[in-house]
Structure 1
């Protein structure tokens, strides 16, 4: 059997595979996440106002959790979601020197009112409207 590829070409193929596999995996997970959220936004057509009952910060390595209480047809419900974050540059004299993470929902605190979208057939299934994104704590 004749060796068709040189050692250098084989190393490049292996390196490309080592880069491609995790990259494809990450983009697949992100696409599935976005698809699930978009499906929920399409199915959850009921809308009401809810009150932020608690915001939990478990530390640097864990995401913030937002708890929201809401009422539909006289029945109280509570949901909790991972707070999605957005990144904005921190600048000194117009030069970016770092990044600051803030909630996608804006400056949310306990007691604030947020919009909750829920499944009209099962109001217990709900999402915090506008809390869309992929970046968490």
Structure 2
């Protein structure tokens, strides 16, 4: 790689890291009281799937350790947002599904976040945001390969 490419890569990822931090802070403030962004992410994923997943599958999806996912799932279960049941064929495994309260919490979080992210997209313009998506998707895919 050339020095120019290295400089471009550092500048690009510096922007991505800063965007991640700022988005995380802004969206966390918009979430319903007691909900963390990690909770919303898991609930939103389960809501879109509409089927059970094991904690290990969820940990892999979110690139987390099983311990970190177990901690998040325990908090979600205490809040009544997920159901965790044993695997009837293998008692060592568990299955996780979203509860009706979890669906309501997901909907409330989306309703709270939508004005925040909508305002940002309106500020930069829908067409410019649309043009950025292919590059961002490719970056995500390449990062997911490694």
- Tell me the TM-score range normalised by the shorter chain: 0.3 to 0.5
TM-score, structure 2 normalization: 0.32
The structure carrying a bigger helix percent of its residues is 2
The structure carrying a bigger strand percent of its residues is 1
TM-score, structure 1 normalization: 0.34
